[in-house]
Structure 1
């Protein structure tokens, strides 16, 4: 028996969770199929998910297909929760992308397929809702080929389409795509004889190599097409790999809390065997940025030290539930207890190669407004727990104004945070208006220095810093123009860490990025003590001196360099009736959207361009009235653009970044 870690992905309301229920029922895991509308599904366990009828948190459930044990991960479909999807993608062996036969290829469907192809995750497409009025076969298949991937292999046709009697009629109808990648199959096609075994072998190999995407049609509501999809999952998608004899290596993709508040880590094991009572290192050592520092061996080891914890309990997923085990082998997904400091994205044991984010970070922000009488400490603790479960809900604490800001993907996410705080923690909160999350980039070069025991420097430390612009997207790098042996390494480390922390708020209060910070001067007062006396702190430099003076020097250097504020900009595509362009285009201009291409195909038109994130929500709200309810909007973060109009937004500075 082999393992398969399978993700179910879709645009919201395509029927992803309903398909999960049907798969569990067909495998005999559940006796009765749950309903999203009734809030009785197996994977939507949160009260808020059941009430709203949407998936917010990923959930894992297991079932068996012949000799394949499938760990199925149900993921959110709404774009506001794309971060939850991102964390799951890194642990998958294969995926099923669900498309509605009525609505067809939607905005989020395209985003997901692009990412699945980029990560080379073998994917089957399931076209759901063939029993619904308005369901289409040819139109949806054509849209999949045009908007998702041309390498589609229809696995059959549909009879009685658009009725409750709709049924899937299996049979691969086209060999062309498969023959493009298989010379033997191409020769057989030319000769007019295609052996079934040759066709099946090509289909299996090319699906696993992400050269083709088989497409099934059916209905999660009636079960039509689901047996064929289940067979495809077992035959076409690759088994989980991993060396049980190798060192322990796993990735944490979800963190939950148990009834007593204990942390529970969901992890995919890629190598080795993890047992209860094992002590395991976790977390990722932060790499040194730039070509700066070659450290002595002992200092380098200290820098890369990772947290360590003891696994106190393990559960693995089996037949629709999770069961306690003494060990978990490579390839499996497990729930782990005992790792109190664990965070989403942490590596357990041997770190795997770090990946870039698959999706863009949040581009919006709002301030939490607690009801009168709310205990601010308890509220901050609750928000911190939410941030543990979703690290992209970055918290920013303003100690002066006693305010907490959270970053967001959209308005639905804000509503979910509000409801979660009320239902799980008992806090009544509201939010201020959502604003774009801007950044600052240096306008030029600036340098500053504070000398030890000179002028008004209150710290026993010399620090000189130069700030230079760096290429867009390069982030922040820290470099040295002084000798590493000029002072203890701990002082260099204090400066580097403080630089990164201080760049969290620039001259206008926004995070500063795309710059190189170079340390140009350093100096310290050596340890002072007298015979039979202790360490004299007032005459000796400490790390606190360097952490204290660095922000002062950095702000001076930034002021001399100057910074420019940039706002987040999204790429957008609007598809609408062609006769609404006369109304749509002026409205886009009023929202500061810049249409770059416009194309008309029959009665439909497509407009692509860029729009500030600050105006995207308004565009979403206005689109139905501008297009008679027939417009479709697809958007994704694209870049940051310098603000050249109006008043430059200022973000209130804080005394501490949470």
Structure 2
């Protein structure tokens, strides 16, 4: 009989104790012999040297253990908002989660952000109020804050004796406790009409067994959230939480005989530099040396939008097992595996068939960029290689390099991420770097339709090709669409083999050119159509007589024609804006609204519930860091910001520019010289 598996996430605000709780769960299950210490850098999940040094989780990690015959794959996720992409990437893979809240600090800003994400994705969630043994711990106050700030659908599962002392003890409630039974019955009947009807008809007919089963069912449907208490450091309350994991969260035995379907959620490198893909299997099995289709959404290199199909053949597989990884001939439904040999795999790839009901979570791209430089010029090449490795592990870190290779830009979420990149390069690669001031990443959109062409064997055209391109505005956030509107006989099919291949390569040349527009930003939300094409062969008709056209002619001519078409269309520089949900005490409304006005924010909605006000607004991404810095002072530390990408809007006034990293095709002499340096037509 297939084993049941629970893929579990541990989430929390920074320093609430989630990594320590992970250690304690592993120890209680017998997966490790001693509990690791975050400060000492001996934990199982904080494996990066930087994580051990800073005492924070940066990359998600996976460990497994067994509780009552259920295999628990525990995924330890970052808590800092600069790494929210790493958190969001994991959420769609989870069967359930534990949200850790400190009994001293209580509900903190990131706690509220994480709970909203968990509820939005309907991830069944238990809460663990940690640090009940610390001075200042007040479990009762924290439960009130959870009900007020996070969700009223919480059910405390016990009481704490001696909070704030090393002797603090957690005592679980039993259904023989009249007060607990009444609280539980009220919470459950509020959300289940059949249970309410049974209770009204005969309250004694609602047995303890039915109440317990209904608590599990409603927890698995994310309707209620049991709350446990304890101390991850001492282990108090952890056995009760462990029991709750398998009783209240949905552990399932996946169908290993179904068609294979899995998702790549992490990329790592082994000791020899080999690529390792972490895959969560939803159904079926992946076996060593078995060929399977893989689908990638988007293309970071070319800016292509839409699926890209390929094949993979894993050369080795390891499955998370007992706190470590064990080599296996296959990874099956419900399991998490490390796969070797997937050299082209990217985070987000679907292995095998569709992941079915599991939705891809789309999170905002980074909106900030900074120039990074090696302190020692001799490290320039090593820096580019190291950044490529980091970008592989996080696809939202985009790296741009100018054509000289001397200037390198990276995209970011925030200043802490910049510090982590700097420390990672120093500790793991031995490269010391400096950064310039962080700037916002804008885009360009065509203002109208523009068209241009270069005809074969004319004075202005140095290449053996005819290309005509039309650029038109596309819908907002539509990306780049390339269309072909020429007859097959005008295509150099003797080189590109068929019309589909020629279309694919021309689309690639177009997207590469659109990385830098009139003002240096990527051109997007447009439709580019090839309206003219021609080539030459040595013996003339049906084509033009002359030197044989080569792929380099089409590749090198495309930027010249396309940039002229963009000039004719004109472009509008647009800055990123974020949709911000801001929560603050009612008494701070006036000061917060004044600050939002100064930052150019447009308030869309405002509501008040109890002593909190929620403001929905749209803020330029460039001003959000200012708002984040001001909010604690304006709200006495009670303000919370949750932001999501809301697209781009035109910049008012003079458009900002970004230095080009490649020669400008609008200046033919400069452009042609650069091609000569790169090897001419080849």
Which runs of structure 2 are paired with 1:121-520 in the superposition (5 Å)? 121-164=123-166, 165-171=168-174, 173-190=183-200, 191-193=202-204, 194-284=206-296, 306-309=310-313, 311-352=314-355, 355-400=359-404, 402-454=406-458, 456-483=460-487, 487=491, 488-489=498-499, 490-519=501-530
How far the C-alpha of 1:131 sits from its partner, in A, is 3.1
Residues of 2 paired with 1:492 and 1:30: CA distance?
56
583 and 149 in structure 1: CA distance in 2 versus 1, 3 angstrom threshold: closer
What SS does the corresponding residue of 1:522 show, helix, strand or coil? strand
Specify the alignment match of 1:300 in structure 2.
none
Offset, 1:460: 3.4
Deviation at 1:649, TM superposition (A): 1.5
Shift of 1:504: 1.8
Match of 2:100 among 98, 101, 108: 98
Secondary structure of 1:205's match?
Answer: helix
Does the 8 A contact of 2:374 with 2:433 survive in 1?
Answer: yes
Residue 377 of structure 2 aligns to a residue in which SS? coil
1:575 CA displacement: 5.2
CA distance in 1, matches of 2:92, 2:264: 10
Q: Could you give the per-residue CA deviations for residues 106-130 of structure 1, whole angstroms, max 9, x where no partner exists?
A: 3333333333333333222223233
Q: Distance in 2 between matches of 1:185 and 1:526?
A: 80
Question: In 2 relative to 1, CA 607–12 (structure 1 residues): closer, same or farther, beyond 3 Å?
Answer: same
Change (3 A) 1:553 1:237: same
Pairwise CA distance, 1:208: 2.3
Q: Which is further off, 270-279 or 226-235?
A: 270-279
For 1:407 and 1:270, the matched residues in 2 are separated by: 32
Q: Which moved more, 1:584-593 or 1:447-456?
A: 584-593
**Judging changes above 3 Å, is the alpha-carbon distance between structure 1 residues 652 and 62 closer, same or farther for their aligned structure 2 residues?**
same
CA deviations 1:539-572 (Å, max 9, x no partner) are 3434333322322232222222222222222344
Task: Give SS of 1:474's match.
Answer: coil
Deviation, structure 1 residue 136? 4.1
For structure 1, list consecutive stretches of 5 or more residues without a partner in the other structure.
288-302
- How far the C-alpha of 1:97 sits from its partner, in A, is 1.9
Residue 547 of structure 2 corresponds to residue 545 of structure 1: no
The question of whether the paired residues in 1 share the 8 Å contact of 2:365 and 2:645 is answered with no
Worse overlay, 394-403 or 457-466: 457-466
- Runs of 5+ unmatched residues, structure 2: 175-179, 300-306, 492-497, 665-682
Cα distance in structure 1, aligned partners of 2:488 and 2:227: 59
Write the distance in 1 (CA, Å) between the matches of 2:171 and 2:618. 41
Q: CA, structure 1 residues 61+146, in 2 after alignment: closer, same or farther (shift >3 Å)?
A: same
For residues 195-215 of structure 1, give each alpha carbon's deviation from its aligned partner in whole angstroms, at most 9, with x where no partner exists.
112112222222223333333
Counterparts of 1:512-591 in structure 2, within 5 Å, are: 512-519=523-530, 521-525=531-535, 528=538, 539-572=547-580, 585-591=593-599
Partner of 1:60: 62
Aligned-partner Cα distance in 2 for 1:206–1:240? 16
Post-superposition CA distance 1:570-613 (Å, at most 9, x none): 34455556666666554444444455666777876665534332
Corresponding residue to 1:616 among 604, 619, 624: 624
**Aligned mates of 2:308, 2:442 — CA distance in 1:** 32
Distance in 2 between residues matched to 1:468 and 1:432, nearest whole Å: 35
- Bigger drift between 65-74 and 268-277 goes to 268-277
Count of residue pairs the alignment pairs up:
635
Work out whether residues 284 and 351 of structure 1, in 8 Å CA contact, stay in contact via their aligned partners in 2.
Answer: no
Distance (Å, rounded) in 2 between the aligned partners of 1:636 and 1:234 = 33
Over residues 56-108 of structure 1, what are the superposed CA-to-partner deviations in whole Å (9 max), with x where a residue is unaligned? Answer: 11111111101101111101111111222233223322222222333333333
Contact kept, 8 Å, 2:130 with 2:231, in 1: the verdict is yes
Residues 199, 608 of structure 1: alpha-carbon distance in 2 compared, 3 angstrom cutoff: same
Match of 2:47 in 1: 45
Deviation, 1:469, is 2.4
- SS of equivalent to 2:216: helix
Q: Structure 2: how far apart are the matches of 1:213 and 1:485?
A: 66
Deviations 1:220-250 (A, max 9, x none): 2333332222112111222245332234332
Contact 2:319 2:336 in 1 (8 A): yes
Q: Which residue of 1 aligns with 2:668?
A: none
Q: Is the 8 A contact 1:565 1:643 kept in 2?
A: yes
Q: Structure 1 residues 507, 70: closer, same or farther in 2, change over 3 A?
A: same
Are the counterparts in 2 of residues 154 and 214 from structure 1 also a CA contact under 8 Å? Answer: yes
* Change beyond 3 A, Cα 1:379–1:18: same
Greater mean deviation of Cα atoms: 417-426 or 327-336: 327-336
Q: 1:114 aligns with which of 94, 113, 116?
A: 116
* Rounded Cα–Cα distance in structure 1 between residues aligned with 2:242 and 2:276: 30
User: Take 1:459 and 1:211, find their aligned partners in 2: how far apart are those partners?
Assistant: 66
Q: Distance in 1 between matches of 2:644 and 2:488?
A: 40
Does the residue aligned with 2:469 lie in a helix, a strand or coil?
Answer: strand
* DSSP 3-state at the match of 1:175: helix
Contact 1:168-1:224 within 8 A present in 2 as well: no
How far the C-alpha of 1:506 sits from its partner, in A, is 1.8
Do 2:286 and 2:330's aligned partners in 1 also have CA atoms closer than 8 Å? yes
Paired residue secondary structure (2:482): strand
For residues 62 and 20 of structure 1, the distance between their equivalents in structure 2, rounded to whole angstroms, comes to 10
Report what 2:659 is aligned to: 652
Please tell me whether the aligned partners of residues 17 and 100 of structure 2 are also in contact (alpha carbons under 8 angstroms): yes
Q: Distance in 1 between matches of 2:447 and 2:190?
A: 51
SS where residue 184 of structure 2 aligns? coil
Comparing 275-284 with 467-476, greater Cα deviation is found at 275-284
Deviations 1:401-439 (A, max 9, x none): 721111111111101110111111111101111111112
Q: Distance in 2 between matches of 1:604 and 1:355?
A: 32
| Residue in 2 that maps onto 1:295 | none
Per the normalisation by structure 1, the TM-score is: 0.87
- Partner of 2:19, secondary structure, is helix
How far the C-alpha of 1:43 sits from its partner, in A, is 0.9
Q: Against the structure 1 CA distance between its residues 609 and 272, is the aligned structure 2 distance closer, same or farther, given a 3 Å change threshold?
A: closer
